[in-house]
Structure 1
Amino acid sequence: MLSFLLTALLLAAPAPRDDWRTPFEKGTGNTTATYAECLAYYQRLDAAYPEITMREAGPTDCGQPLHEVVVSLDGDAEPASVRGKNRRVVFIQNGIHPGEPEGIDACMALVRDYVQKKALRRQLENVTLVVVPVYNVDGMLSRNSTSRANQNGPAEYGFRGNARNLDLNRDYLKQDSRNARSFARLFSRWQPDVFVDTHTSDGADYQYTMTLIATQKDKLPPALSQYMQRSLLPALYGGMARRKTVMTPYVDFEGRTPDARGLVGFLETPRYATGYTTLFNTLGFITETHMLKAYAPRVQAQYDFLDLMVRTVHAQAGALAEARAAAAEQLQTQTTFPLAWRLDTTRAEKISFRGYEGTLKPSGVSGQPRLYYDRTKPYVRTINYYNTFRPAVSVTRPVAYLIPQAWGEVLDRLRLAGVQLQRLAQDTVLTAETYYIADYKTGPRPYEGHYVHTAVDLRTEQQPRPFRKGDFVAYLSQPAARYLVEALEPQATDSFFAWGFFDSILQQKEYFSDYVFEDIATELLRRDPALRTRLERLTAQNPVFAKSGAAQLDWVYRQSPYYEKSHLRYPVARWLGGRLPLE
């Protein structure tokens, strides 16, 4: 197969009668398609080939629609029908950060080649390819040549932030953007086997053109993790090496240079693309081409990886289907769910790494020592790769979550994720496991439009609670079980509570006037000797508390029937079993 990169460089050659060269291939090797050019090219493919379907997939924040392109040999572009034919689905997303546009240009050529070249068409006999040409349409329309100061081309490109200045690769679970909500709906419809998000890396300098983030192995169900590690990843790394583009895991590290302490696995939580897709047992990959390599080889590396992914899924379709089916079965019997993870620094594998010597030299700005990678001193060294994570916080599986209908923003997001919801048929009082927020920390500065909560501490009690007709029930006996846990458990890293969706429960609505409540509190202590004893024990143990009349009065208030039970009470309850009055 003639490399499309070579085609791009042979600019003097006469164009064929039907010129299907992409905007990149027509350019200098250092240009990327504009949004209009990208859209027009796919529209032309859609008009010319019945195997290709291009359609709108929902709104984005800038007012332009999100698009999907489906490549299917028989023209079947309906997700349920495709799954019914036992085809594997590969879902590729480009342009989440439009200043990293290699995937945009590579996919245009890939889709063309998969309908025009017989050898590639065969790969689609049992695979349907779904492509989002540009996810961050907003950012791609903000074209410039300066915002990527660390990057070697292309000459112009898009901007990282979307129309609301959100980084869409932090928005998958919270879904502040219309882009993310459209993606969630599209992803839920397709339920892909494999998801690839194309990127360009920042960070250290090294010899590789391509690095790879794969779904963190310890976060996957055992069957899927074993398949990925034993079959899929070896095929991808080996195939890229045979194409003369040796890959390494994403270069994330602690220390001054990668070889100082070794690489660290990237723990993608559900705010990120592959962290979100993992919640549904989809194998996720982020391709990271290196910013300092020339643009044309970066586009070629993305093309080679995406082509190799489709070929590998075609060849391993049966094993992939079996692994996902086994993972679905494991999910239904899973009793404990991790909510947060920590790196195991005692476990490391050895990998060969191709880097450049990192040295210090005087800064031309300050005169102080600065880091410098010396490309005249390449090396190949064996270094540590730390990629084992252990659960730091876990929770047992409830039978269902009870969600009051008042929390519409949360319910909307559950629906977009494909969660199956039922409703209570009548007003009722249910005794359910209830959380109170005992403590938490909040970031001092906004992060992606939110003040994120961390280090959440809970108090749990079985409590009779009133629920109204129409309140929602989400049973965990469904494919979205893991998503439900990580979205609704307050201690989960990217839960709705962490992102501030339930902040109104953190504010007390009623209080007391101390000069009035003094008399009430005195009477409460007189009538309840046990309460008096608890107060005296606290004053004896805590000198600061003993000296504060206000603190003691507040403590009595919080133990009294006058204190509102809804303060700090997490509204979503855990149902542990029994019959519910459902519609």
Structure 2
Amino acid sequence: MLLTLMLTAALTSTPPDQADWRTPFERGNGNTTATYAECIAYYKKLDAAYSEVTLREVGPTDSGEPLHEVVVSLDGDADPSSVRRKNRRVVLIQNGIHPGEPEGIDASMMLVRDYLQQKKLRAQLENLTLVVVPVYNVDGMLNRNATTRANQNGPEQYGFRGNGRHYDLNRDYIKQETRNARSFAKLFQQWRPEVFVETHTSNGADYQYTMTLIASQKDKLHPVLGQYLQQRLLPALYQGMEKRKWPMTPYVDFDGPTPESGLIGFSDSPRYSTGYAALFNCIGFMPETHMLKAFRPRVESTYALLDEVIRFVHRDAEALGAARAEADRQLLAQTLFPLTWQLDKQQVETLQFRGYESRSKPSEVSGLPRQYYDRAAPYTRPVKYYNGYRPGVTAEKPAAYLIPQAWETIIERLQRNGVQLRRLTQDATVEVEARYIEDFQTTPRPFEGHYVHSQVQLRAVRQPQLLRRGDYVARLDQPAARYLMETLEPQAVDSFFAWGFFDSVLQSKEHFSPYVFEDLAAEVLRRQPELRRQLEEKKQADPKFAQDAQAQLEWVYRRSEYSEPGYRRYPVLRLTGNEQLVMRNE
């Protein structure tokens, strides 16, 4: 009986090459995108049919549904460590961070299938492993609607930009407040891809291109990789897309009313995908299809670009691996790290841009002039492209950072992002470099759940400090050195201080009653003639201060032994490396 059932099952099952492998997009009218359930079901079907595919859950999301990864490897090896030992390159594609921009979701489903079923495409995987995140913002994809992308031409229904907690996940790569971002960080650190692609749809001007491209900002990449990107990778992608009749242009962000005013290279700080990837010497791309083109060509051009990326990595695997290894090697010896960047308009290129004339006509709403792009008047003309950035604030690398164990949210983020930490096994009093927050600016309105700080001014002081058993030490002679510098140096654009994770030290916990402290302040000034002299100089230089008794008491208090030592003192300390510490590895 059992043999009969087995024979019956064998005779009635459908071989993979005879099954209907069309995706929901392909079965539709060209203006529909897969639902979350359809997308995951399709990859489950591929996983069941092909040993080269592994679909697995890699962590939670804020939706309650898991984050998935799809690993495509010709020998079925889905273990990141094993793949690395085999010296394969890794390409990571992530879709649906903004599920209202779903082209990559549908394109990747077709791409994975074709790479399994077409012999010529399979050959591209001989020396690389493809990893696909089918849907990153699962929460937003489940929030399906037909109206929230008012500027977009299809599909008929789509997901929502915000996740389950109303966060934009493409601002959460460094602060990692969502479960989605925390699961992604774990996945990214396990694979450490050479190339990371995250698919998007644009907003903004109208022009002839279906595909535009954001690449990791060349000056913010390690110089070895920046040169590789500019001289080898980008030219190949642009030429390949041109041959496939999908001409590309850099992402259309411009300095003025229209693109002819000059395009500006995207400033990708680590809150964004490409900026985060650059911290770990990974080249990132954000393809942005044009919102007003029909959905079918947007999907097709995304497919073409993803295919071009894989083909290039296959062809240039050895050179790409060498560039990454050299960047990693040089990073360990790097001593000066930029923390902020400024657009350098002295660096300018000229692009031949294919746009539409911008014109004006009366608005039916206001009756006033309104802008529109005239698709009956296409043009190709040179425009300036500003894609050079120069460092602003920089910082010398310390030997190590000391992170008090009380700051567990910081420790968790460091560990999640591959930072090697050690813990003190006994108390010790050592001389450290402490920094005090002298001044900063804060946004007047919340951004992604925070009032973000910038323009931070620091005062550094060498002082003895009691370090506690269990406190953490992060040495800078490790691959995560740049990540450490850009998260733990307060002046960095996306530092943990900038995002408000240390705001509790900005508020004084003890203070004084003026009528009591008057006598104490007078005694302090009698004992410290130099402080009295400085006070008198400040009064002479600042008439407003000279007439403000409370401000003068505050000034004396902050410079006296009565002021709390932790007020405005940044908790993360810099170590020289000469401290005598007893530690154990975490």
TM-score interval w.r.t. the shorter chain? Answer: over 0.9
Cα shift at 1:521? 1.3
What is the alpha-carbon distance in structure 2 between the residues aligned to residue 16 and residue 339 of structure 1?
Answer: 53
What is the alpha-carbon distance in structure 2 between the residues aligned to residue 565 and residue 366 of structure 1?
Answer: 59
Deviation string 1:525-583 (CA, Å, 9 cap, x unpaired) is 12222221111111111111111111111111111101011000000011122142212
1:274-289 correspondence to structure 2 within 5 Å: 274-289=274-289
Deviation string 1:307-345 (CA, Å, 9 cap, x unpaired) is 111010000000000100110111011111000100011
**AA aligned opposite 2:392:** A
1:42-441 correspondence to structure 2 within 5 Å: 42-259=43-260, 261-441=261-441
**AA aligned opposite 1:31:** T
Cα shift at 1:19? 0.3
What is the alpha-carbon distance in structure 1 between the residues aligned to residue 454 and residue 465 of structure 2?
Answer: 27
What is the alpha-carbon distance in structure 1 between the residues aligned to residue 547 and residue 299 of structure 2?
Answer: 69
Q: Pick closer, same or farther for the CA change 1:533–1:16 going to 2, 3 Å.
A: closer
**AA aligned opposite 1:507:** Q
What is the alpha-carbon distance in structure 2 between the residues aligned to residue 360 and residue 576 of structure 1?
Answer: 62
Tell me the residue number matched to 1:4. Answer: none
Indicate the SS of the match to 2:339: strand
Deviation string 1:294-316 (CA, Å, 9 cap, x unpaired) is 10000000000001110100000
What is the alpha-carbon distance in structure 2 between the residues aligned to residue 185 and residue 478 of structure 1?
Answer: 18
1:541-560 correspondence to structure 2 within 5 Å: 541-560=541-560
What is the alpha-carbon distance in structure 1 between the residues aligned to residue 199 and residue 430 of structure 2?
Answer: 47
What is the alpha-carbon distance in structure 1 between the residues aligned to residue 107 and residue 526 of structure 2?
Answer: 78
**AA aligned opposite 1:49:** Y
Tell me the residue number matched to 2:10. Answer: none
**AA aligned opposite 2:264:** V
**AA aligned opposite 1:18:** A
Matched, 1:506 2:520: no
What is the alpha-carbon distance in structure 1 between the residues aligned to residue 473 and residue 281 of structure 2?
Answer: 23
Indicate the SS of the match to 1:271: coil
More displaced 10-residue stretch of structure 1: 310-319 or 554-563: 554-563
What is the alpha-carbon distance in structure 1 between the residues aligned to residue 187 and residue 576 of structure 2?
Answer: 32
What is the alpha-carbon distance in structure 2 between the residues aligned to residue 527 and residue 109 of structure 1?
Answer: 79
What is the alpha-carbon distance in structure 1 between the residues aligned to residue 268 and residue 453 of structure 2?
Answer: 18
Cα shift at 1:208? 0.2
**AA aligned opposite 1:440:** F
Cα shift at 1:488? 0.5
What is the alpha-carbon distance in structure 2 between the residues aligned to residue 347 and residue 68 of structure 1?
Answer: 40
Indicate the SS of the match to 2:300: helix
Cα shift at 1:17? 4.0
Indicate the SS of the match to 1:553: helix
What is the alpha-carbon distance in structure 2 between the residues aligned to residue 140 and residue 532 of structure 1?
Answer: 65
Is the CA contact (8 Å cut-off) linking 2:508 and 2:567 kept in structure 1?
yes
What is the alpha-carbon distance in structure 2 between the residues aligned to residue 426 and residue 291 of structure 1?
Answer: 59
Tell me the residue number matched to 1:567. Answer: 567
Tell me the residue number matched to 2:475. Answer: 475
Indicate the SS of the match to 1:525: helix
What is the alpha-carbon distance in structure 1 between the residues aligned to residue 17 and residue 124 of structure 2?
Answer: 26
Indicate the SS of the match to 1:219: coil
What is the alpha-carbon distance in structure 2 between the residues aligned to residue 255 and residue 546 of structure 1?
Answer: 47
**AA aligned opposite 1:417:** N
**AA aligned opposite 1:127:** L
Cα shift at 1:222? 1.6
What is the alpha-carbon distance in structure 2 between the residues aligned to residue 237 and residue 446 of structure 1?
Answer: 38
What is the alpha-carbon distance in structure 1 between the residues aligned to residue 419 and residue 101 of structure 2?
Answer: 33
Count of paired positions:
568
What is the TM-score normalised by the length of structure 2?
0.96
What is the alpha-carbon distance in structure 1 between the residues aligned to residue 529 and residue 410 of structure 2?
Answer: 44
**AA aligned opposite 1:45:** L
**AA aligned opposite 2:333:** T
**AA aligned opposite 1:187:** F
Tell me the residue number matched to 2:30. Answer: 29
Tell me the residue number matched to 1:5. Answer: none
Matched, 1:538 2:538: yes
Indicate the SS of the match to 2:77: coil
What is the alpha-carbon distance in structure 2 between the residues aligned to residue 107 and residue 486 of structure 1?
Answer: 32
- CA RMSD, aligned part only? 1.0
**AA aligned opposite 1:503:** D
What is the alpha-carbon distance in structure 1 between the residues aligned to residue 165 and residue 246 of structure 2?
Answer: 37
What is the alpha-carbon distance in structure 2 between the residues aligned to residue 529 and residue 455 of structure 1?
Answer: 34
Is the CA contact (8 Å cut-off) linking 2:428 and 2:581 kept in structure 1?
no
Tell me the residue number matched to 1:19. Answer: 20
What is the alpha-carbon distance in structure 2 between the residues aligned to residue 531 and residue 161 of structure 1?
Answer: 54
What is the alpha-carbon distance in structure 2 between the residues aligned to residue 340 and residue 528 of structure 1?
Answer: 40
**AA aligned opposite 1:396:** E
Cα shift at 1:288? 0.3
Cα shift at 1:351? 0.8
Indicate the SS of the match to 1:359: strand
Tell me the residue number matched to 2:4. Answer: none
**AA aligned opposite 1:568:** R
Tell me the residue number matched to 2:456. Answer: 456
More displaced 10-residue stretch of structure 1: 521-530 or 51-60: 521-530
Tell me the residue number matched to 2:13. Answer: none
Deviation string 1:10-37 (CA, Å, 9 cap, x unpaired) is xxxxx98410000100000000000000
After TM superposition, the runs of 4+ consecutive aligned structure 1 residues lying more than 3 A away are: none
Indicate the SS of the match to 2:147: coil
Matched, 1:444 2:448: no
Stretches of structure 2 lacking an aligned partner (at least 5 in a row): 1-15
What is the alpha-carbon distance in structure 2 between the residues aligned to residue 296 and residue 551 of structure 1?
Answer: 66
What is the alpha-carbon distance in structure 2 between the residues aligned to residue 227 and residue 523 of structure 1?
Answer: 65
What is the alpha-carbon distance in structure 1 between the residues aligned to residue 430 and residue 301 of structure 2?
Answer: 57
Deviation string 1:73-116 (CA, Å, 9 cap, x unpaired) is 00000000000000000000000000000000000000001111
- Using the aligned pairs only, state the percent identity: 65
Tell me the residue number matched to 1:12. Answer: none
What is the alpha-carbon distance in structure 2 between the residues aligned to residue 31 and residue 465 of structure 1?
Answer: 62
More displaced 10-residue stretch of structure 1: 415-424 or 543-552: 543-552
Indicate the SS of the match to 1:25: helix
Deviation string 1:389-436 (CA, Å, 9 cap, x unpaired) is 000111011111100000011111111101100011111112111110
What is the alpha-carbon distance in structure 2 between the residues aligned to residue 16 and residue 322 of structure 1?
Answer: 38
